[in-house]
Chains A and B, each alone.
Chain A
Amino acid sequence: MSEVVVSARSVSKSFGNGAGVVKALDDVSVDILQNEFFTMLGPSGCGKTTLLRLIGGFEQATAGEILLEGEALQDLPPYKRPINTVFQSYALFPHLTVRQNITFGLEMKGIDRKKANARADEMLELVQLAQYGDRVPSQLSGGQQQRIALARALAPAPKVLLLDEPLSALDLKLRKEMQVELKRLQTETGITFVFVTHDQEEALAMSDRIAVMQAGHILQIGAPEEIYERPTHRFVADFIGESNFLSGEIFSSADGAWSLRVEGVGEVVLAQESSTGKLGKVTVSIRPERLSLGHESEQGTDRLKGVVANKVYIGTDTAYRIHLGDGQPLLSVRVQNANGVTGHFSEGESVSVCIPSDAARVLVD
């Protein structure tokens, strides 16, 4: 059972005062576990950096508290918190060599020079830049600076490492490499990583758990599969991957099953656990790849009728847009091409769409 390392309790943070007040965080609570790769994901301005800076001690919460291993951090300045940060701009000290950058934190902690240098070499080894110790930061590429920033932050062996969009300045290829690298470093060092990004793919690929944020709130916290397969909010389903949203009414039929009735289209059966247990008007989210198409003659309680509005071949998949009925948004369906699908459908053709009972997730809002 993992222990909680960092915990935010009903944290709020406002900037400015009077009419110009901005509420960057609004009653945010989260527990981050030991040895976890925890990601805060959300669009620009949702408060990710603010939460990170509160944990680091660079900002003070307006309300609520932040605990480190159960102890309130409120009055501790950043230099007394066993937490290190990889800054978005890297913030390497330009007047110091790479090695001096890495030993900086160690020296400040009072570790003697010899040990500090040994540790720096170890860190340089870890980020695979062993020969670069005597250079100054301006002689390094962006990706190398990034690694040094990591090495510097990891050297004092903090309890928590905060990373604010550390990969955003890198090009795509390097970014992919560094994603793997970061994940490896996290596993090898066993340090809790709190990672901030607005890139959903990055978040899915690297995280043990993800907190999806919007406008100062955390909407959902969960493992990548959970966030992707079982989004609780429309915003989450929309922000991560592509999703269909169907509005309808849930009712319980005579045999005890739960069904969704979509006005003017039809009814489908929902799995018990995909509903939040509420009856009445709801919106459900359905991932396009969970849907499949069949001949219009195929019928069942898990099917809706529709007409192919358009189809686009995109290599691995074919993306269909299905017209269900007037006033309903087009339903997006992804069919894998290699999978020996039940025939290909052409535009204007009538089809039946199969919605597996556990594919539709009822959203809370």
Chain B
Amino acid sequence: MKVDTSNPLWRFRGVTSAAMMFFAYLYLPIVVLIALSFNENRLATIWTGFTTDWYLVALGNDDMLRAAGNSLIIAVSATVIATLAATLAALGMSSGNRFRGEAGVAAMLALPLLVPEIVTAVATLLFFVALGVKLGLLSVIVAHTVFCIPFAYLPIRARLEGMDPSLTEAAHDLYANEWKAFRRVTLPLLWPGIMSGAMLSFIISLDDFVISYFVGGAGATTLPIYIFGMIRMGITPEVNAVSALMLLVSILFVSVSFLIDRIRY
């Protein structure tokens, strides 16, 4: 690690070891999980040899694949709807359009980030039951869309804030009407924010347990719920393998999202 000596923090003893311990605390469990997914022994905690069989077992498990399929359908649908809504919200809230109660609307958009998930889950469940909505994939998609919106909204909003308002004016100045200016200037410049927001939404949805568990019902078992069910039968390397695969997908998406968001013209 390269130490930046201009940072006064490094004058204190033990900063390095504290940082190391912090990272170990964060990542050691994940490293262990991945390592044990290659363990030959059926008892996940005793190492007897290296194998990739558990991955084959996991990928051959129909229930697991069905759960993964559900997760994918839910995540993709929720992402598309949430990103679309978030984009429109961000455009509506952009600095050009001041309106009364704007701060209130902005707070409401971000609120789902702060409300405890269990509260949202219970409330959503009661809401669906009261409305007589049949629990299943659709109800999960609706619930996921709601909590994905703030995640999609924030990066899009940040992009829009950072955009020079005279760019839109320049487009109008050069004979582009509202739609063409949006299509040719605003949207391309916003695109990295939109992609980044979409990827975040996707991961958040893929990852969700509590809300899916409450509003999913029998027909909508998602991957996290399936993993939870497997663990109750006992921790096998197969669980580790499935988890490791999920982690891989998450890392991929988060990295791409991060890279896209760094695009600067």
> Which residues of A does B touch, CB under 8 Å?
56-58, 77-80, 83-85, 87-89, 91-95, 104-105, 108-109, 136-138, 152-153, 156
Contacts and interface: CB of A to CB of B under 8 A. Distances in A.
Contact of A108 (B164, B180, B265): B180
Interface in B133-176: 164, 166-167, 169-176
Interface in B22-78: none
B265 A56 contact: no
B176 A79 contact: yes
Interface in B169-213: 169-177, 180-181, 184-185, 188-189
Interface residue SS majority, chain B: helix
B175 A87 contact: no
B265 A104 contact: no
Nearest to A84: B173
B161 to A, nearest CB: 16
Contacts of B172: 57-58, 77-79
A85 B180 contact: no
A95 B166 contact: no
Given A93-B185, A95-B188, A138-B265, A108 B170 contact: no
Interface residues on B, range: 10 to 19
Contacts of A58: 169, 172
Contacts of A138: 265
B174 A84 contact: yes
A95 B176 contact: no
Contacts of A91: 164, 166-167, 169-170
A65 to B, nearest CB: 20
A349 B166 CA distance: 59
Interface of B: 164, 166-167, 169-177, 180-181, 184-185, 188-189, 265
A276 to B, nearest CB: 42
Given A87-B166, A91-B164, A104-B184, A79 B265 contact: no
Nearest to A109: B175
Contacts of B180: 108
What are the 3 closest A-B residue pairs judged by CB atoms, nearest first? Answer: A94-B265, A105-B174, A108-B175
B169 A87 contact: yes
A105 B180 CA distance: 11
A164 to B, nearest CB: 10
A104 B189 contact: no
A85 B185 contact: no
Contacts of B173: 56, 78-79, 83-85, 105, 153
Among B171, B172, B175, B176, find the residue whose CB has the most chain A CB atoms closer than 10 A: B175
B167 A93 contact: yes
25 contacts: A57-B172, A58-B169, A79-B172, A79-B175, A83-B173, A84-B174, A85-B169, A85-B170, A87-B166, A91-B166, A91-B169, A91-B170, A92-B170, A93-B170, A93-B185, A94-B189, A105-B173, A108-B180, A136-B265, A137-B265, A138-B265, A152-B174, A153-B173, A156-B174, A156-B175
A109 B177 CA distance: 11
A294 to B, nearest CB: 57
A10 to B, nearest CB: 25
A274 B135 CA distance: 91
